[in-house]
Structure 1
Amino acid sequence: MIVNKNIKVIVSDLDGTLLNSNHTISDKTISVFQKLHLHNYVIIVATGRHHLDAMPILDSLGFPVYLVSSNGARIHAPDKKLLYSFDIKSDHIQSVLSIDIDPDITTVLFKEDIWFTNKYNKKLNDFQPEIRYRPELVNFNELEDYAGIKLLFTHENHSKLLAVRDRILEKHEGLFNHAFSLPFCLEFMDKSVDKSVAIANILELENFSFQETLVFGDGYNDENMLREAGIGVLMDNAPQSLKELLPQLEITTTNETDGVANYITNKIINSKLELQQ
């Protein structure tokens, strides 16, 4: 039985959702999304990744899609034209970086075509099979222009990131939106930036509503778009705390077992074939 005849738009996160542990889209998932494209579904990929990082990955799908990147700070059309751009103000970032932050934490300031960091971090670089834009080691006290797309703090110790989050929010109430895209990645964007807001802008362009969306995600930066979705689906590899926060959502199999492709095949593609018989 078809999951919802009104679904016209498919939205998916990347890491932990559409991508496997090799940071690639499997052949099975590519095949499923190509079928969706042939059936005229609007496809939106919404990721915390920088657009220069995400675009080469999405090229493997073999057809153009909407890209929401940096958690909503950028929107690119299927033809890769920039539709929306919103940065954090320079003085806001400078104020955050003036806080005494544990030097063991990797701090990254993402700009349009480069990212500044206080230290080399192999784990971050491994997220890019081919580095399309390179990190530059900097002393954050010596920058002239601090404006950027987002700030990222990463460390294996989640409690250290929680301490940084609390310190920043205490001193900068109402200035930022923040999320843990992964347990070891804390990201700050301008307060107006969120994946759900960016998706709403695309839906307006396409004359659709959130009620016509099927949304997949696995992280806290996916929470709002999952809540807004006509149908929201969590990956089985999502944190247990997120599953408990969103108990109304369905759960599909993990990203390692093509959970997005499996759900779409069973609930969308096969159901369409049944209706046509």
Structure 2
Amino acid sequence: MSLLHNIKVIITDLDGTLLHTNHQISTYTRAVFQELYQQGYLIIVATGRHHIDAMSLVATLGFPVYLVSSNGARIHSPEKELLFSFDIASDAIKSVLQLGIEPEFTTVLFKEKVWLTNKSNQKLNNFQKELHYPPEIVDFDTIEDFKAIKLFFTHECHDKLVALKNRILDTHHTLFNPAFSLPLCLEFMDKSIDKKRAIAQILQKEAVGFHQAISFGDGYNDEQMLNATAKGLLMANAPDSLKKTLSHLEVIASNDQNGVAQYLSKMLLKTKPSNYAQDGFCN
């Protein structure tokens, strides 16, 4: 407990971490986080999601938070002011697509207000309960401006995504920082972008450090963040390969068991919220 006495910052991923598999924040988690906010903790949400999509989710917490989105390519203040923005150059993405990506992969370019994709993918659409950030199906051979926040691929077979990642990195390892946010979600950011670097900017602005932060995640895009904080917690639903890589980290209950909120309630809350009852596990 002595390590946690110094904690002032709580950092959490969204999908597979704070969100249930239905892509929502439970009332139990909301109650715990509202109490943490009232007790003065700085809350940072760090996600691979686009900021428009993520903002609608974090708004359900009921208080303002710092938002790191697109794995660090955007930072928004609690007042929703854009603090940092970085896009991948058009030529860099164009050179990847010219490798001849097989049509069996769903390919996505995350633009500022719309995401361009080669085909409709219902699983991706289901990540948004309300369509705040709409898809647009395009023929990438007809696109001229490929500049984007993030390049994304998905496929039903993780091994095929791994092979695609390796094929792209064979010729583009100096340009891109790849990560699996989920086993079936392969993302490419600019080499300079990751969650840890974005969070560092927020911590500097708030005059606190990683040694005063606790973090929660479930994906390879969380790895550097989890290793940087004083205490990094890995979700039970994280891939076994990531658990092996981060075997020095404690594993907590799954996202569907409200693992983040359970841990924080037990370890950090000085008082419990009034609507803390176990039936708060429902959404």
TM-score, structure 2 as length reference: 0.94
Distance change (3 Å), C-alpha of 1:44 and 1:66: same
Answering whether residue 263 of structure 2 is matched by residue 263 of structure 1, we say yes
The answer to whether structure 1 residue 81 and structure 2 residue 81 are counterparts is yes
Q: Is 2:147 the counterpart of 1:144?
A: no
How far 1:163 moved relative to its partner? 1.6
Deviation of the 1:62 alpha carbon: 0.5
Deviation track 1:16-40 (CA, whole Å, cap 9, x = no partner) reads 0000011000000000000110011
Letter in 1 for 2:212: E
Report if aligned partners of 1:3, 1:268 keep a CA contact under 8 Å in 2: no
Deviations 1:213-236 (A, max 9, x none): 000000000000001011000011
**Cα separation, 2, equivalents of 1:173 and 1:239:** 24
Identity of aligned residues (%): 59
Superposition deviation, residue 173 in structure 1: 2.3
The code of the aligned residue for 2:143 comes to L
* Runs (5+) with no aligned partner, structure 1: none
Equivalent AA in structure 2 for residue 118 of structure 1 = N
Structure 2 residue 166 is the aligned partner of structure 1 residue 166: yes
Paired residues, number: 272
1:88/1:149 contact within 8 Å kept = yes
Distance 1:247 1:162 in 2: 22
For the aligned residues, what is the CA RMSD? 1.2
Displacement over 2 Å in runs of 4+: none
Per the alignment, residue 34 of structure 1 pairs with 34
Alpha-carbon distance between aligned partners in 2 of 1:42 and 1:212, rounded to the nearest angstrom: 10
Equivalent residue number for residue 155 of structure 1 = 155
CA contact (8 A) 1:235 1:251 kept: yes
TM-score (normalizing by structure 1) = 0.96
* Aligned 1:201-212 pairs, distance under 5 A: 201-212=201-212
Cα separation, 2, equivalents of 1:197 and 1:87: 15
Question: Could you report, residue by residue, the CA deviation over 1:65-122 in whole angstroms, capped at 9, with x for unpaired residues?
Answer: 0000000000000010100001100100000111111211000000000010000000
State the AA in 2 paired with 1:240. D
Q: Secondary structure at the match of 1:16?
A: helix
> What corresponds to 1:116 in structure 2?
116
User: 1:3–1:267: 8 Å Cα contact kept in structure 2?
Assistant: no
SS of the counterpart of 1:17?
helix
Gaps of 5+ in 2: 273-283
Aligned partners of 2:3 and 2:230 also within 8 Å: no
